[in-house]
Structure 1
């Protein structure tokens, strides 16, 4: 009887996941037909309205209060509202991934949703032409999907590490969408390190998000508090001796974005000259903290960064 119940539960879960996946994919395809500005503004408003009802709002408020003890409760609430607004706009932007990157390298004077400063352009061109692999880190800030679209648009050999959704239909749609507009994508499965190593060996530029808590990570300090960071990027840098850069997409008024690529981040080294894993992850975490301090309303405070 017990085995029958288990099989029934598994069957019901598969049916429920399939239904939820079909609905989600259908919704995303429908949203693709809605004018982008209308959709983004509406999604931002909607999430500002309902976000405070979720328990993640309490998590975010507690983390913001600890990170910014100098800010008043009213300032914390203003930032929280921006966090939900950013998340809503991210959802809208995901349905329009194929339309967002409209910057024309041959005619940079033309109106565009994307703003690029010359130093970032120069650094990107160098990555494009130097014939070497590189590691590119990002954070859940602004629109964190756009850097991969930029790389694919200008034919930069790249691979992006991402986490699969649990619902297969949604995962299939996202995989197809990302593969079309973002180049190679590598899911966080057991064989991910091997695929990443293969990409770096051929000279690709591997991007990954590095700002979430990682149980088996190395200890770093973020906003004055201890937490854990995934050491994979630093270990890859040590093994492949390749440069490290950071990238972020800052949200601007009017549904526009500013794309930034940092100078090479110098890794920390031990007494033998080898890359120090924990020290390098601290250097990267320092960059991310600076980004978040600059635009706290655009970072994903809903995730428990400290445990």
Structure 2
């Protein structure tokens, strides 16, 4: 039976958009690394972001959270955010150059010793972060030091894009698992074996409890805290903070979140990210639909 017209249109749209993305990635990867990253940042900031509506969404989120900030400042943050999104995208597709640059990056923060101790003792670790700076920078630095870090990802709506997106995550080292039942067995086994797992927790999840994030309720999954409690794993917030040169990173592991209950621990990691956003707001992905009503 041939596909329905709407299904065929959607599939065709996915195919065409993926072809454009693949072509852009190929063109960017032909450039020297520094020029590649700067160019992709500008393309997303000045072209893709405004056309795709990401700039408008970022400004809407900023107006909700920081209505007291001058419009010019909110616009500056939105522009810088889009630039960071573009840089992050092409960095993560630079599967040879980017990890090589992070291989000797120093690890800082109170959580470094805790991670090392857990790994030495064969205890599992859940490393949790948000879409801030480049979240793969710290993972790349850790993998270069011999850590076997698994990743948990959310399938993209575009199946053509999703296929090579997953491969880029696998290229950083360590297994990656899709969210949902299909990936549960794999990442649970990885944790039980004393491995480390990376989770990004700052996207809207329908039906999840709400937690205060930057002064507004945001539906947030309890997964990271629940995994830490269930498998007696350290829960360590981490960040790859882009530096002023636009190419290098501070790779930080914060002190582990004390075990209590899933709600308290989830608010703690949310507060950790909020503090980072307040300190360097342009590094967070304001383009996400982070605050959404249940009916949206």
The TM-score range, normalised by the shorter chain, is 0.7 to 0.9
- Kept in 1, the 8 Å contact 2:151–2:197? The answer is yes
Aligned partner of 1:45 in structure 2 is 42
- Cα gap change, 1:173 to 1:58, in 2 (>3 Å): closer
- Structure 1 residue 137 corresponds to structure 2 residue 134: no
Distance 2:94 2:8 in 1: 34
Q: Which of 99, 107, 122 lines up with 1:101 in the alignment?
A: 99
Distance 2:143 2:102 in 1: 14
Aligned to 2:96, the other structure's residue is in SS state helix
Aligned partner of 1:272 in structure 2 is none
Shift of 1:242: 1.5
Aligned to 1:101, the other structure's residue is in SS state helix
Distance 2:196 2:100 in 1: 22
Aligned partner of 1:82 in structure 2 is 80
Two-structure CA RMSD over aligned residues (Å): 2.5
- Cα gap change, 1:306 to 1:13, in 2 (>3 Å): closer
Unpaired runs of at least 5, structure 2: none
Aligned to 2:252, the other structure's residue is in SS state strand
Aligned partner of 1:265 in structure 2 is 257
Aligned partner of 2:149 in structure 1 is 158
Aligned partner of 2:279 in structure 1 is 294
Q: Which of 180, 191, 195 lines up with 1:200 in the alignment?
A: 191
Shift of 1:143: 0.7
Distance 1:45 1:198 in 2: 41
Shift of 1:208: 0.6
Aligned partner of 1:92 in structure 2 is 90
Shift of 1:186: 0.4
Aligned partner of 1:32 in structure 2 is 29
Q: Which of 275, 284, 291 lines up with 1:306 in the alignment?
A: 291
Aligned to 1:302, the other structure's residue is in SS state coil
- Cα gap change, 1:233 to 1:128, in 2 (>3 Å): same
Shift of 1:33: 2.3
- Cα gap change, 1:65 to 1:20, in 2 (>3 Å): closer
- Cα gap change, 1:42 to 1:121, in 2 (>3 Å): same
Aligned partner of 1:178 in structure 2 is 169
- Cα gap change, 1:76 to 1:13, in 2 (>3 Å): closer
- Kept in 1, the 8 Å contact 2:225–2:262? The answer is yes
Aligned to 2:250, the other structure's residue is in SS state strand
Aligned partner of 2:202 in structure 1 is 211
- Kept in 2, the 8 Å contact 1:36–1:92? The answer is no
- Kept in 1, the 8 Å contact 2:93–2:168? The answer is no
- Cα gap change, 1:244 to 1:306, in 2 (>3 Å): same
Aligned to 1:182, the other structure's residue is in SS state coil
Aligned to 2:287, the other structure's residue is in SS state coil
Distance 1:176 1:43 in 2: 20
- Kept in 2, the 8 Å contact 1:133–1:203? The answer is yes
Q: Deviations over 1:183-230 (max 9, x none)?
A: 100012322232221111111111110011111212211112212110
Q: Larger radius of gyration, structure 1 or 2?
A: 1
- Structure 1 residue 125 corresponds to structure 2 residue 116: yes
- Kept in 1, the 8 Å contact 2:177–2:184? The answer is no
- Kept in 2, the 8 Å contact 1:134–1:243? The answer is yes
Count residues with an aligned counterpart: 290
Shift of 1:155: 2.1
